[in-house]
Structure 1
């Protein structure tokens, strides 16, 4: 049993803490489970509170340029109100719900470059310390995975993924930031768009998919952004013809001229609104489609678009942020980069 960090703010010889997550990757809206291990130091202490914080590395755009910072987007109590004896080890199991809009950090086990962490905070005798921080991996929901796989089969390539501070108007967004997955178009769409940005906004009932295209300028028209939205219920994911559906979405996005397209929704029977019906899918079965989706999107990560050390060093990165962050700062700590 290795305790990762002493609670330095609580004094030399004070308690130490380690948080152990039960699984390698969680699901948006699912349970994050594990246990917090607190070990007493050289004297007995009263532990007032033990809690968890979910953190994200987020980008923000402003008049002076761009900045990056750490945002706390959820907090959970784990325990407290007990006396911890000298060298005593106390185990506090937890099961907490992740927000439905928690960003996806990986596809088929391959990292997308999104930085999330779980930080443990312990309060003893009026002092508090963020004593342990662990990387948080999140895999996609079935709807999210199906969309990404379909895009991979259509030839779209992964360019990058990040978290943007702000809100998308006209959506049901709840977190103060949203995830953007940037995709490069295949040759059949390259004449129309430079790139496509994909955002998932999940909820207990389904997933809102926001697609934005950076459209190329034409002979008689300047380049502009086009945006369209769709909503798919969780229970409809297995029944949809994803190749045809996503093909229809991309066709609508690249063809229409409005800043906002209509908001197509899917009912209990999985019947789509306008834009459906681009013919039956062709090609391999479901098993191969999964592999092709991984090859189309996740292979871009392996190709060097995301540095492997970004995931390996997440613990050190967040610990540095925690050391520099004021204890009284509740929500964010931006590091200006221009």
Structure 2
């Protein structure tokens, strides 16, 4: 994947930068590999540094209104100060570690509607920051996350949308300033007791906290939030029965 070429902060005739990913998709806790290609312009340029950022569109509340903002949640410096001669070509390889809590953007190769997340290349040229566009990055589920998603599908829940919300999920080990909600319409067997279920993962190197928020119906009304914990070894199991038990317990089935 080649990210959009950026015009240098020195204007027309200045250096250009291409970021090339050799990793087509990444998993939470994984690593993005690639290289940044610098090409000198018509004159020598002082580059103070090149930084890659992971950034995402996050929903925020402004009083009684909602809006969106872009939040960075990981950065890696590709190179420090250097002089790029006119016409010089320089390739700088990188390995960008992806946080375990990185939200999912794709499942089974299909983009999750509502998710905007990617890599941005920032270049400091002669003290002027050239901030590039955020180009999409595919983040696929880890095996244990995939099993939970498969279980919900097998039970008849239907994916509706996904988004990122600023804030914290109480009682979890969350470290990022936002969390992902993957929203499902309720399966038929649970439709009398809830309208929808919102799924969040708080993932770490040893375990995954699975947070389910239920929008209850009628006399069962109100939201109910439950957190369940799985280790990564659960990615080798069929979790349909486990998830069914979680939901029945939460809804009082």
Following superposition, the deviation at residue 8 of structure 1 comes to 4.4
Bigger relative CO (Cα 8 Å, ≥ 6 apart): 1
State the match for 2:84 in structure 1: 84
Deviation at 1:7, TM superposition (A): 2.9
Say whether the 8 Å CA contact 2:168–2:178 is kept in structure 1: yes
2:18 aligned counterpart, secondary structure: strand
Give the TM-score normalised by the residue count of structure 2: 0.94
Greater per-residue strand proportion: 2
How far apart are 1:235 and its partner, in Å?
2.4
Q: Which residue of 2 aligns with 1:320?
A: none
TM-aligned CA distance change 1:171 to 1:214, over 3 Å? same
**Distance in 2, Cα, partners of 1:197 & 1:19:** 35
1:206-248 residue CA offsets vs partner (Å, 9 max, x unmatched): 1100001000012xx6x1111111111112321x441111111
Structure 2: how far apart are the matches of 1:95 and 1:19?
A: 12
C-alpha distance in 2 between matches for 1:10 and 1:144: 45
Aligned-partner SS, 1:10: coil
The alignment's TM-score, normalised by the length of structure 1, stands at 0.71
List alignment gaps of at least 5 residues for structure 2: none
Q: Which residue of 2 aligns with 1:18?
A: 18
| Contact 2:117–2:134 (8 Å) recurs in 1 | no
Count matched residues. 251
Partner of 2:176, secondary structure, is coil
Displaced runs of 4 or more, over 6 A: none
- Gap regions ≥5 residues in structure 1: 257-338
More helix by share: 1
Q: How does 1:145-294 map to 2 (within 5 A)?
A: 145-218=146-219, 223-238=221-236, 240-255=237-252
RMSD over aligned CA atoms reads 1.6
**Whole-Å Cα distance in 1 between the matches of residues 160 and 6 of structure 2?**
39
Contact 2:122 2:130 in 1 (8 A): yes
Q: Report if aligned partners of 1:19, 1:132 keep a CA contact under 8 Å in 2.
A: no
Measure, in 2, the Cα distance between the counterparts of 1:3 and 1:195.
37
